[in-house]
């Protein structure tokens, strides 16, 4: 986003000699400020607004402008105006005035309302003035930047405030200085402008004195982090000062800011290991207090800092994030989901919270956020029908505005999780229409992932396969990382086998043998060793001899069969090594939990297509799912179960 540069201020006289003299006096006073040494007294700085009926007012080159005149009351803290027990009634009045000021400020929702309010004031402290700038930044800045630049930056009240913050920065309290800096950076004021440069220079000077509080240090750190090129030296100084502070007394905001600073300085994390360790311990005690924003920030920082060893903290933050799901912004939710994925965590109640939130918000959520939600479901193998149904609906409505990557990210989980939503026909008609118009825009690996996921759920992209199997596409695929590795070659081979077995009407080009694999590489469907041993023991008891079945059998059709049993024409079991007189081949699929969606009896796409293809290749497929045999303890009971599964119409050993 382009930064907005604040133009220099030009004064003009209203014509009266007296006004010229006042203006010259003001200029001399302002020019001498930068050369003046800081007074040693403490207290806030006041800003006086001259009313329009003030005869001695100075003006900008416009009609009815006001000028804000700053009167020095202090240089340093204290930050609070209440004072001690002996403070005067006047101080109490000022405290109440300040409270009223901020209550009123909070009730204003446009910059024009704020400027009108500021015009009505007799005087305000620098903390109040900087608070006004902060409120302006809150109401006028969104994700796209400053909404009404001219209305804000060209306003005479705003320009006068900036002018005086620039030339009176040495007289500001720490809070006034740092709050103003933070607000102006948020308003996209050019960091190279003299205004920001002077405020940063003054902040750096005060940082060197080591008199900034933890809150001050965090405000300065937040401002630096928002700059495109933050001062590394200043960030190091902030962290150095923070190392001397007691982390047990930090607020959630202060904790989150320091985590972010350490995240930026990740390469130096060994140097700050002790501080990070103390912060992790302290954060565990306040995890339940964290807002959605701070929960997201801290989880994101823990990922960046690779804090995999702080399991109790990670678990606490992940569980705490559940109640914030409806309140996370898109970016915050993405950070939380990335943390769940990075730390390998999964919470059923978190999924349930997503299932309530996503269907209601699908049309307002950013596509990248939706992509991250379904990536979480996909990688964790969570078959969430409410989420996937909502995603399908959102795709049909909004896919024309998606990037090609987002299109693939929306569709691939349906194939991985082996799920067709109720509106599957509309979903895939929409996808086909997009592919027809934007086919050439897809990166080759993205396109292959997308089409491969379609065949997993029996949606056949036959109109596009001639282009996929063309030498031109395969050369593009090979030229871009990861090239034609084992996974990519497996996808191509499975596409080829699918059209061969399931689309006999396909007459287009075929995949050349040099691009095919000898055996498919499956990423989700590894064998459950414990269940496999249990099934083999039952088979051995049933068939009496080990020679009557074989395990992990490689077929000529790229698949590996868990257990193969051969039968002759009369249904008798043949030795596994016999090749003649084989009438029936039984493929026993030993399906452990890792071949199903979590907490579900729904096979994953890779295992579903394998069993479908084995059946089309002539095998009698017998599924042994974990949920049918997990309660079987004895070998005899296992043998009885397998007998009913494999030989439902016979008794004994293949009879």
DSSP string for 537-591? HHHHHHHSSGGG-EEEEEPTTS-EEEEEEEE-TTSPEEPTT--TT--EEEEEEEE
> Does any domain span residue 281?
no
Give the model confidence (pLDDT) of 237-255 as tens digits: 999 999 999 999 999 999 9
- Per-residue pLDDT band for 142 (boundaries 50, 70, 90) equals confident
Angle at 323 between CA 321 and CA 326, to 5 degrees: 100
> In total, how many domains does the chain have?
3
| Count of Cβ atoms closer than 10 Å to residue 70 Cβ | 23
- Per-residue pLDDT band for 389 (boundaries 50, 70, 90) equals very high
Residue 427 CB burial class (10 angstroms; 0-12, 13-18, ≥19):
buried
My answer on whether 483 and 546 are in the same domain is no
Listed range (16-30, 574-588, 606-620) with the worst mean pLDDT: 16-30
My answer on whether 507 and 534 are in the same domain is no
> Does any domain span residue 653?
no
SS (H, E, C) 300-342: HHHHHCCCCCCHHHHHHHHHHHHHHHHHCCHHHHHHHHHHHHH
More confident residue, 235 or 268: 235
Residue 604 is predicted with a pLDDT of 96
Boundary-marking domain end, from 452, 483, 515: 515
Angle at 97 between CA 95 and CA 102, to 5 degrees: 100
The percentage of residues in the chain with a pLDDT greater than 70, rounded to a whole number, is: 84
Give the model confidence (pLDDT) of 85-112 as tens digits: 333 444 444 444 788 899 999 999 999 9
- Per-residue pLDDT band for 523 (boundaries 50, 70, 90) equals low
> Does any domain span residue 70?
yes
My answer on whether 480 and 544 are in the same domain is no
Residue 548 is predicted with a pLDDT of 95
Listed range (62-66, 89-93, 366-370, 471-475) with the worst mean pLDDT: 62-66
Report the distance separating Cα 130 and Cα 138, nearest Å. Answer: 12
> Does any domain span residue 229?
no
Boundary-marking domain end, from 209, 230, 245: 209
Q: Do the strands 620-625 and 584-591 form a parallel or antiparallel pair, or are they unpaired?
A: parallel
My answer on whether 493 and 546 are in the same domain is no
**Tokens, residue 461:** 């992209």
The percentage of residues in the chain with a pLDDT greater than 90, rounded to a whole number, is: 72
Angle at 393 between CA 390 and CA 399, to 5 degrees: 120
> Does any domain span residue 218?
no
My answer on whether 152 and 97 are in the same domain is yes
pLDDT at 2 over 80: no
**Tokens, residue 69:** 């005149």
My answer on whether 39 and 180 are in the same domain is yes
- What's 568's domain CATH number? 3.40.960
Give the model confidence (pLDDT) of 276-288 as tens digits: 999 999 999 999 9
Residue 651 is predicted with a pLDDT of 52
> Does any domain span residue 143?
yes
DSSP type of residue 110: S
- Per-residue pLDDT band for 267 (boundaries 50, 70, 90) equals confident
Q: Give me the mean pLDDT over the 482-490 stretch.
A: 92
Residue 522 is predicted with a pLDDT of 66
DSSP type of residue 111: H
Burial 205-219 (b: 16+ CB within 10 A, else e): ebbeeeebebbbbbb
My answer on whether 444 and 577 are in the same domain is no
DSSP type of residue 519: S
- Per-residue pLDDT band for 527 (boundaries 50, 70, 90) equals confident
pLDDT at 514 over 80: yes
Q: Give me the mean pLDDT over the 528-554 stretch.
A: 94
My answer on whether 540 and 431 are in the same domain is no
> Does any domain span residue 283?
no
Give the model confidence (pLDDT) of 113-136 as tens digits: 999 999 888 778 889 999 999 999
My answer on whether 173 and 106 are in the same domain is yes
My answer on whether 17 and 69 are in the same domain is yes
Q: Answer whether 173's CB lies under 8 Å from 211's CB.
A: no
DSSP type of residue 245: S
- Per-residue pLDDT band for 14 (boundaries 50, 70, 90) equals very low
Report the distance separating Cα 203 and Cα 170, nearest Å. Answer: 9
Report the distance separating Cα 523 and Cα 517, nearest Å. Answer: 15
- Per-residue pLDDT band for 145 (boundaries 50, 70, 90) equals confident
- Per-residue pLDDT band for 449 (boundaries 50, 70, 90) equals very high
Residue 214 is predicted with a pLDDT of 94
Boundary-marking domain end, from 492, 515, 538: 515
Residue 231 is predicted with a pLDDT of 86
Q: Which helix (H) or strand (E) holds 620?
A: strand 620-625
Listed range (56-70, 80-94, 179-193, 359-373) with the worst mean pLDDT: 56-70
My answer on whether 443 and 545 are in the same domain is no
More confident residue, 191 or 68: 191
My answer on whether 430 and 534 are in the same domain is no
DSSP letter string, 456-482: HTT---TTTHHHHTSHHHHHHHHHSTT
What is the span of the domain harbouring residue 158? 1-77+90-209
Which of 82-86, 261-265, 345-349, 384-388 has the highest mean predicted lDDT (pLDDT)? 384-388
Tell me the pTM. 0.81
Residue 78 is predicted with a pLDDT of 31
> Does any domain span residue 333?
no
pLDDT at 158 over 60: yes
Helices vs strands, H then E, count in the chain: 28, 10
Residue 525 is predicted with a pLDDT of 64
Using alpha carbons, list the distances in angstroms from residue 472 to 162, 464, 465, 481.
60, 14, 13, 16
């Amino acid at each position: 986003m382009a930064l907005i540069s604040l133009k220099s201020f030009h004064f003009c006289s209203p014509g009266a000699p007296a006004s010229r003299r006042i203006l010259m006096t003001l200029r001399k006073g302002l020019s001498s400020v930068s050369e003046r040494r800081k007074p040693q007294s403490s207290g806030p700085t006041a800003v006086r607004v001259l009313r329009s009926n003030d005869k001695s007012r100075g003006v900008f080159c416009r009609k009815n402008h006001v000028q804000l005149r700053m009167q020095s009351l202090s240089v340093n803290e204290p930050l609070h105006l209440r004072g001690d027990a002996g403070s005067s009634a006047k101080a109490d009045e000022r405290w109440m005035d300040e409270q009223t000021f901020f209550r009123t400020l909070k009730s204003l929702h446009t910059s024009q309302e704020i400027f009108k309010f500021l015009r009505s004031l007799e005087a305000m402290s620098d903390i109040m003035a900087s608070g006004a700038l902060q409120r302006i930044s809150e109401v006028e800045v969104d994700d796209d930047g400053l909404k009404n630049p001219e209305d804000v930056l060209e306003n005479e009240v705003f320009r006068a405030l900036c002018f005086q913050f620039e030339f009176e920065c040495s007289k500001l309290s720490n809070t006034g200085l740092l709050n103003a800096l933070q607000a102006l950076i948020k308003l996209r004021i050019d960091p190279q402008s003299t205004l920001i440069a002077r405020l940063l220079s003054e902040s750096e000077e005060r940082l060197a004195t080591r008199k900034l509080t933890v809150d001050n240090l965090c405000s300065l750190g937040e401002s630096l982090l928002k700059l495109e090129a933050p001062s590394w030296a200043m960030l190091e100084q902030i962290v150095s000062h923070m190392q001397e502070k007691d982390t047990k007394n930090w607020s959630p905001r202060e904790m989150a800011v320091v985590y972010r600073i350490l995240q930026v300085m990740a390469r130096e994390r060994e140097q700050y290991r002790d501080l990070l360790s103390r912060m992790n311990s302290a954060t565990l005690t306040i995890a339940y207090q964290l807002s959605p924003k701070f929960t997201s920030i801290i989880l994101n920082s823990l990922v960046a800092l690779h804090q995999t060893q702080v399991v109790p903290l990670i678990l606490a933050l992940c569980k705490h994030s559940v109640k914030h799901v409806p309140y996370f912004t898109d970016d915050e939710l993405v950070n939380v989901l990335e943390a769940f994925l990075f730390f390998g965590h999964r919470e059923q109640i978190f999924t349930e919270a997503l299932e309530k939130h996503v269907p209601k918000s699908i049309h307002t959520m950013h596509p990248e956020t939706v992509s991250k939600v379904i990536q979480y479901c996909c990688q964790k193998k969570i078959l969430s029908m409410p989420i996937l149904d909502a995603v399908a609906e959102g795709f049909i409505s909004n896919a024309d505005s998606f990037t090609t990557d987002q299109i693939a990210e929306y569709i691939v989980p349906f194939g991985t999780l082996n799920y067709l939503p109720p509106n599957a026909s509309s979903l895939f008609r929409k996808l086909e229409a997009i592919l027809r118009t934007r086919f050439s825009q897809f990166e080759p690996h993205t396109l292959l992932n997308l089409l491969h996921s379609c065949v997993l759920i029996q949606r056949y992209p036959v109109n596009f396969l001639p282009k996929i199997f063309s030498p031109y596409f395969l050369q593009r695929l090979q030229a871009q990382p990861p090239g034609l590795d084992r996974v990519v070659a497996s996808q191509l081979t499975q596409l080829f086998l699918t059209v061969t077995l399931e689309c006999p009407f396909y007459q287009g080009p075929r995949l050349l043998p040099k691009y095919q694999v000898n055996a498919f590489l499956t990423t989700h469907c590894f064998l459950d060793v414990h269940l496999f041993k249990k099934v083999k023991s039952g088979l051995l008891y049933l068939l009496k001899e080990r020679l009557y079945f074989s395990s992990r059998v490689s077929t000529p059709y790229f698949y590996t069969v868990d257990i193969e049993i051969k039968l002759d024409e009369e249904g008798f079991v043949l030795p596994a090594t016999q090749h003649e007189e084989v009438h029936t081949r039984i493929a026993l699929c030993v399906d452990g939990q890792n071949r199903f969606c979590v907490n579900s009896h729904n096979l994953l796409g890779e295992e579903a297509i394998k069993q479908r293809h084995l059946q089309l290749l002539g095998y009698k497929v017998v599924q042994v799912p974990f949920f049918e045999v997990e309660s079987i303890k004895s070998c005899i009971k296992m043998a009885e179960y397998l007998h009913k599964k494999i030989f439902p119409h016979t008794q004994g050993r293949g009879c």
